[in-house]
A and B are shown apart, each in its own frame.
Chain A
């Protein structure tokens, strides 16, 4: 490995990492809301709401993220009524298109994680809360949600790492994230091994950090403490 070459390109890759972290963070942030929303719909007794949530999750988990981002970026831009509507302010930019695609994708996976977390909540706890006079909203916010969050931490940690990897697809819609810059350096210098090691290590370091944050949270909110 050519250390000098690797070091020369390190600052460029590090700078691109900022975009990668930004995309990951924002998508996960919005994705949690989308995920919780659809998990609630999924528990609904109203059939149509259930099916909306079911098919949303089915479609986004059953197709590759690359297809999703291409439909949102290249596909929607083709429609004149979209370009003339207020939606275009958001869809015009590759940055926001990427975040929308990632959010919808992680939202689908998260909704499944949260759904199964809600399902495993002991009914007795909920009944106890209600018998103590907590109303439905309070029972949800103060009892069900915290338990579900704790319950879904390990699976959600995995989803965070998958999303971090997923942001690499931003490079297919003109954004220069870590993978985009790495690709650019590879195709101009023809030195794949060095670039792979440097960029790959950066991804692994972020993965490591996420992994430890989740571990810390799991410990902090473990039921035994």
Chain B
């Protein structure tokens, strides 16, 4: 059975083979194009966003010829492993779980997550600190999680599938909430605005960007989250065996940080300096 199947798949696959002429020093970078302001598309169908511009600069620093490859979020890591592209720059946080499969460069931007609701929601005005770091733990964090658990009980919360945000909600840190997963952040935003979900969890900037562009009264509530399940900033995802490329990206990121490029782009796209 296994062999028939493999033979069948292989023979079809053999027909699909498309050997890409391996150009000297060309790097393909995978991105989603649906996670503004990190990466998105404009009316002309062109990729735009913080990571799109940063990728350009990093490639200039590396002296490499880069192309951006679009990939749906849920196929992002498989796409890297299948060598559809050589690096991921898609607002992907560095987490231990992902580190089991792929490597990450040093972080280039710090992403804090936040819950968002529509104005007038009962979740507004929760009594929590402004920010909590799950890695540090401590009484403040415990108390904040307790407040959140009580407030979120029985609520439906939307997240993009296969994200740190989904992992966090399913970790039990905030009790057992109803999690609804979506293919893209755009869909999460649409259903939040439509009132189908009580709250959503994603990068704080994803909500502020949406609120600003759509004019919808989306507001952030509760603390901003970092550390723990939320990982250690956003980095470039690279295959485990590509150690050379990893070094090159690290050097380029170092340079971009020192010369202020990352800060400049972050202020342009996020409105504040998210470099790290």
Contacts and interface: CB of A to CB of B under 8 A. Distances in A.
The reply to whether A and B meet directly (CB within 8 Å) is: yes
Interface of A: 1, 74, 77-78, 83, 88, 92-94, 172, 174, 183-184, 187-188, 190, 193, 197
B196 A92 contact: yes
B5 A190 contact: no
B153 interface: no
Contacts of A93: 196
How large, as a class, is the contact surface on chain B? 20 to 34
5 closest cross-chain pairs (CB), A and B: A77-B194, A187-B74, A1-B2, A174-B180, A190-B78
**Does more than half of chain B's interface fall in helix, strand or loop, or is it mixed?**
helix
Given A77-B190, A197-B5, A187 B183 contact: no
Contacts, number: 39
28 contacts: A1-B1, A74-B190, A77-B190, A77-B194, A78-B194, A83-B194, A83-B195, A92-B194, A92-B195, A92-B196, A94-B180, A172-B183, A174-B180, A174-B181, A174-B182, A183-B74, A187-B75, A187-B78, A187-B161, A187-B162, A188-B162, A190-B77, A190-B78, A190-B81, A193-B5, A193-B6, A193-B9, A197-B5
B180 A1 contact: no
Q: Identify which of A1, A77, A174, A190 gathers the most chain B CB atoms within 10 Å of its CB.
A: A174
Interface of B: 1-2, 5-6, 9, 74-75, 77-78, 81, 161-162, 180-183, 187, 190-191, 194-196
Nearest to A189: B78
Given A1-B1, A1-B5, A187-B75, A77 B183 contact: no
Contacts of A193: 5-6, 9
Nearest to A97: B196
Contacts of B180: 94, 174
Contact of A77 (B5, B81, B196): B196
A203 B191 CA distance: 30
A188 B74 CA distance: 8
A188 B75 CA distance: 9
A93 B81 CA distance: 36
Contacts of B182: 174
Nearest to B72: A187
B30 to A, nearest CB: 14
Given A74-B190, A77-B191, A174-B181, A184 B1 contact: no
Contacts of A74: 187, 190
